[in-house]
Chain A
Amino acid sequence: GENVEQHPSTLSVQEGDSAVIKCTYSDSASNYFPWYKQELGKGPQLIIDIRSNVGEKKDQRIAVTLNKTAKHFSLHITETQPEDSAVYFCAAFNQAGTALIFGKGTTLSVSS
């Protein structure tokens, strides 16, 4: 079945810097790759997603890139702010294409 690896597990940046989180997936048939942000005591919330027919997608300070050949995708956050501090999860649709398989998460800390 699908396996998603995510790194780094923790990331500390200064306010205004950029942050990059990387994920790899195992199933070449996966075609949907969302990124979720989870704040303390809350459920994950979608922040951006990308489908396999697109190489890059941007939404204000957040961008995601996808390399289907290498089977990896990355989240880029520019001009980080303290409110970006949270746990970020990448995910991919499983082999059956019916449910999301999550990475282990990256704890992002943005200090002012």
Chain B
Amino acid sequence: EAGVAQSPRYKIIEKRQSVAFWCNPISGHATLYWYQQILGQGPKLLIQFQNNGVVDDSQLPKDRFSAERLKGVDSTLKIQPAKLEDSAVYLCASSFPGALGSEAFFGQGTRLTVV
């Protein structure tokens, strides 16, 4: 079974530039999450999708972050404009549809450095 795919693996940008990350979840997983992991901390939820609908985006800084999941499969997370404090690893995860307390499978993440 293929895992959660993310790209790119690494990205370096200057502050105020824009950047986009892509995620392809495990086939059949209707729930998709984006987490932000700052160095030395645990992952922090940014947004959760169920199919192509947003379930929870309460922690997403909506003035600069946006995410979409068209057709309920792939997802894109965008930052515009980036700030220095956005430097982190952005993790995408997916899980089986509608199951509370089910295992979330994580991708390898995209490491973003904002200079």
Which A residues lie at the B interface, using CB under 8 A?
Answer: 4, 6, 31-32, 34, 36, 41-46, 49, 51, 89, 91, 93-94, 96-105
Q: A41-B108, A42-B108, A44-B91 are in contact. Are A102 and B103 (CB under 8 A)?
A: no
Residues of A within 8 A of B107 (CB): 43
Q: A43-B4, A98-B48 are in contact. Are A93 and B104 (CB under 8 A)?
A: no
Instruction: Indicate if B13 sits at the interface (CB-CB under 8 A).
Output: no
- Out of B44, B55, B100, name the residue touching A102 (CB < 8 Å): B44
- Out of A4, A6, A31, A89, name the residue touching B101 (CB < 8 Å): A31
Distance from A32 Cβ to chain B, minimum over Cβ atoms (Å): 3
Residues of B within 8 A of A94 (CB): 45, 56
Question: How many Å lie between the Cα of A32 and that of B101 in the bound state?
Answer: 5
- Number of B residues near A (Cβ < 8 Å) is 22
Main secondary structure of the interface of B (DSSP, over half): loop
Question: How many Å lie between the Cα of A42 and that of B110 in the bound state?
Answer: 10
Q: A43-B4, A45-B106 are in contact. Are A103 and B101 (CB under 8 A)?
A: no
Name which residue of chain B comes closest to A107, CB basis.
Answer: B40
Name which residue of chain A comes closest to B102, CB basis.
Answer: A32
Question: How many Å lie between the Cα of A63 and that of B85 in the bound state?
Answer: 37
Name which residue of chain A comes closest to B6, CB basis.
Answer: A43
**In the complex the two chains form, is B103's CB within 8 Å of A89's CB?**
no
